[in-house]
Amino acid sequence: MSPRLPRYAAALLEALQYSGENTGLLGALGDTDWKSLLAFCDRAQLTLTFGTVAASFLPGWVSARIAGNMRNNAERHRQWQMATLEIAASLEALDIDFTLLKGPAHSPDFTPDPLLRAHGDIDIWCLPEAVSLAWHALSEMGYRSLVESKGRHLPPMARPTDWQWRGDYFATDLPIPVDLHYSLWDRDLERIDGPPEREFWQRRRAIQMQGRVVPALCVADTLAFAALHSLMHMLHGDLRLQRAWEIAHFLNSRVADEAFWADWQALHSANLRILEVTMFALTAKWFQSKLPAAVIEEIEILPHDVRRWLQSQSWSPVESLFTPNKDELWLHLALLHRPRDKANIVLRRMFPVNSVSRRTVASRAVNPTTFARIV
C-alpha cells in the first residue's frame, strides 16, 4: 500500500483487495475519515461496491446511508435500462446497426451484480459511416447535444431538462446522457495504435437485456475495451478507480480459465496485449487480484521501460487522485516508439491548448452547466 495515500483512502483500497479479508484499517477511522471516504467513493463510483464488500465492518450510519444509495441506484438502473431499450428499438427500426459497450455487457464478468454499478451515460458504438444516422435518430427522440467532444464519440446527448445539481450522486432524477462512439480508441490523440476495430465489430455477440437481444463485444474484446478505456483515462491523469476494480474482478474470476486466455492471446496482437497487460498489472497491484499464467507471461516480456515504470511508479495514478502528479506521462512515453510522437505527447501534457476536459462520468452527468445548454 502506498504511504502517500490519506488514511481513509488506504483503508478503502485495503477493503477492496482480493487477497482475503483486509479491513483492519477501517477500524481506525473516525467519523471525519468516514465522511471523506464516502465523498471520495461517490466521486469514484465505488460507494456501492465498497458498501457490499465491507458491509459487516461499517458503522451503522454509514450502512444506512449506503442502503439509501443502493435503493436509489436500483431506480437509476431501471431508468437506464428503459432508456437504453428505447434507443435500441429506435435504431433497430431504422436498420442502424450498433453495439452496446457497457451495462449488461460487463456483468457478471466485471461486476458480480449489475446493481453495484453507478450508472452514468449510455455508451453506444456505431461504425463511422452509420454514426450520423444514429445521431439523427436520437435527435428525433428528443435528445440534444451537450458539451463539445474530442475524439472517439460525438458530443454527448441528453433530453432537455430543468434538473439542478443538489450534491447527490445517486439522485433518481439525474439525467442520462448518451455517447455515440464512432471509434473505440483515438490513435491521433494518444499516438499509440489501437485495436483492429472492424475485427472487433465482426466478432460481436448477442446478449439479453430485459428480453431483448442487444449486440455487444465478445468477451475478449470487452476486456480489451475495458483495459484500453481505463488506460486512456489514466494516461490523461483521470484514473477511473471503479473501472480498474472491475478489471481486477475479471482477472481474479477468470484466473484458471486457460481456454479463455488462449483465445485472448490468439485474437489480440502483441501490440494490443502490451496495452492490456499494462493495465492488468496495475489493477492487480492495487487490488491484489490473482493473475492468469498467460498474463504473467505477457507482463514479463513487456518493453523494458514499461516494466521499469510499473516497478517504481505503479501507485502514482492512485496517488494522483489525492495529490496531483504527472507520473503517468512517463508511462505514456514508454509506450511510444517514434521521437515525434513522444514530443507531441510532452507538449500536449505540459502546454495544453484548447483541450477538452475529460471528467468522470458522474461529474459530467451532474454538472448543471452541461444541461443548461440544452434546456
Tell me the per-residue pLDDT of 151-160, one tens digit each, with 9 for 90 and over. Answer: 789 999 999 9
Residue 211 counted as domain residue: yes
265: Cβ contacts below 8 Å, ≥ 6 apart:
273, 294, 298
pTM of the model: 0.91
Residue 124 counted as domain residue: yes
Residue 1 counted as domain residue: no
Residue 130 counted as domain residue: yes
pLDDT of residue 353: 62
pLDDT of residue 21: 65
Residue with cell 466485471: 110
Nearest to 6 by CA among 38, 47, 41, 36: 36
pLDDT of residue 358: 36
Phi/psi region, residue 210 (left: phi>0; alpha: psi -120 to 50; beta: rest), is left
Confidence of residue 107 (pLDDT cuts 50, 70, 90): confident
Percent of the chain with pLDDT over 70: 93
Total domains in the chain come to 1
Q: What is the DSSP letter of 129?
A: T
CATH number at residue 253: 3.30.460.40
- Please name every residue paired with 209 in a beta bridge, in sequence order, or none if there are none: 212
For range 347-375, the mean pLDDT = 49
pLDDT of residue 89: 96
Residue 2 counted as domain residue: no
Residue with cell 494516461: 235
Residue 74 counted as domain residue: yes
**65-98 pLDDT per residue, tens:** 999 999 999 999 999 999 999 999 999 999 999 9
Residue 359 counted as domain residue: yes
Structural domain including 157 reads 7-372
pLDDT of residue 370: 44
Which 3 state secondary structure label does DSSP give 205? strand
> Which alpha helices (H) appear in the chain, and where do they start and end?
7-15, 31-44, 47-53, 60-93, 131-140, 187-190, 197-202, 219-235, 241-253, 258-267, 270-287, 293-300, 304-313, 316-319, 328-334, 339-350, 361-365, 368-372
- Joined together, the cell numbers standing for residue 200 give 472487433
**229-277 pLDDT per residue, tens:** 999 999 999 999 999 999 999 999 999 999 999 999 999 999 999 999 9
Residue with cell 460487463: 106
- Residue 363 pLDDT > 70, yes or no? no
Residue 42 counted as domain residue: yes
Q: What is the DSSP letter of 159?
A: -
Confidence of residue 23 (pLDDT cuts 50, 70, 90): confident
**304-340 pLDDT per residue, tens:** 999 999 999 999 999 999 999 999 999 999 999 999 9
